[in-house]
Amino acid sequence: MTDQQLKPDWLFNPGVVLLRDVATAVLHLAAVGDLDAFTLPYPPGAQRALDALVLQCLRNRATPPAGVPEMIRWARARPLSSWPLDQLPPDLFDAADRLIDEVSGEPAQLCHELAVRGYGDSTGRQYDRLVIHEALRACRAMSSPESYTAFRRLLVTQPVLTEGDWAEISCDLFLDPVRFLVEEIYAPVPAGFRRDGSCLCCHRCLILLHPVSDTEWWCERDQCRHRGPAPHGRELVAAEVGELRQLRKPLRLFVTGPGQAETALEHELRALGLTVEMWPNFDSYDVRVTFPDGHVWAVDVKDWAHPAFLGRSATAVRAEPPYDEACWVVPEFRVRARRDYLDSYARERGAQAGGLRLLTDRQLVRAARLRLSGDWGPDASIGPLNTGADEPSGPGRRSTGNRPADNTTRAEDAGQDGADDA
Q: Are residues 268 and 401 in the same domain?
A: yes
Q: Are residues 177 and 132 in the same domain?
A: yes
Average pLDDT rounded to a whole number, residues 129-142: 93
- DSSP code per residue over 373-389: TT--SGGG--S-TT--T
Backbone angles phi, psi at 161, to 5 degrees: -130, 130
Backbone angles phi, psi at 339, to 5 degrees: -65, -25
Q: Are residues 39 and 107 in the same domain?
A: yes
The pairing of strands 358-360 and 325-330 is: parallel
Q: Are residues 203 and 266 in the same domain?
A: no
CB burial string 375-404: b at 16+ within 10 A, e below: eeeeebbbbbeeeeeeeeebbbbbeeeebb
Round to whole Å and give the CA distance between 24 and 113.
Answer: 10
| Residues in the chain, overall count | 422
- The answer to whether residue 169 is domain-embedded is yes
- The answer to whether residue 269 is domain-embedded is yes
Kindly report the CA angle at 256 between 255 and 262, in degrees rounded to 5?
85
Q: Are residues 237 and 372 in the same domain?
A: no
Answer yes or no: pTM beyond 0.85: no
- The domain boundary residue, chosen from 71, 90, 120: 120
Contact 71, 53 (CB under 8 A): yes
Q: Are residues 142 and 27 in the same domain?
A: no
Segment 180-233, tens digit of pLDDT: 999 999 999 998 899 989 999 999 999 999 998 888 898 988 888 888 888 999
Confidence of residue 412 (pLDDT cuts 50, 70, 90): very low
Confidence of residue 9 (pLDDT cuts 50, 70, 90): confident
| Element at 146 (helix H, strand E) | helix 145-157
- The domain boundary residue, chosen from 100, 120, 140: 120
Average pLDDT rounded to a whole number, residues 126-153: 92
Q: Are residues 241 and 333 in the same domain?
A: no
Residue 136: what pLDDT? 95
Segment 315-371, tens digit of pLDDT: 999 999 999 999 999 999 999 988 899 999 999 999 999 999 999 999 999 999 999
- The answer to whether residue 422 is domain-embedded is no
Q: Are residues 268 and 397 in the same domain?
A: yes
Round to whole Å and give the CA distance between 57 and 83.
Answer: 9
Confidence of residue 388 (pLDDT cuts 50, 70, 90): very low
Contact 65, 52 (CB under 8 A): no
Contact 358, 310 (CB under 8 A): yes
Round to whole Å and give the CA distance between 229 and 227.
Answer: 7
- DSSP code per residue over 180-211: HHHHHHEEEPPGGG-BTTEEEEETTT-SBPEE
Segment 218-265, tens digit of pLDDT: 898 888 888 888 899 999 998 999 999 999 988 998 899 889 999 999
Segment 270-298, tens digit of pLDDT: 999 999 999 999 999 999 999 999 999 99
Confidence of residue 74 (pLDDT cuts 50, 70, 90): very high
| List of E strands, 291-330 | 296-301, 325-330
- The answer to whether residue 176 is domain-embedded is yes
Residue 402: what pLDDT? 34
Domain count across the chain: 3
Q: Are residues 215 and 272 in the same domain?
A: no
- The answer to whether residue 330 is domain-embedded is yes
- The answer to whether residue 197 is domain-embedded is yes
Whether 120 shows a pLDDT value over 50: the answer reads no
- The answer to whether residue 326 is domain-embedded is yes
Q: Are residues 405 and 262 in the same domain?
A: yes
Angle of helix 44-59 relative to helix 14-30, nearest 10 degrees, comes to 140
- The domain boundary residue, chosen from 226, 248, 270: 248
- The answer to whether residue 421 is domain-embedded is no
Average pLDDT rounded to a whole number, residues 83-95: 85
| Domain encompassing residue 132 | 124-248
Q: Which residue would you say has higher pLDDT here, 34 or 338? A: 338
Q: Are residues 196 and 212 in the same domain?
A: yes
Residue 358: what pLDDT? 97
Quote the mean pLDDT of the chain: 84
Return the percentage of the chain with pLDDT > 90, whole number: 55
Q: Are residues 57 and 180 in the same domain?
A: no
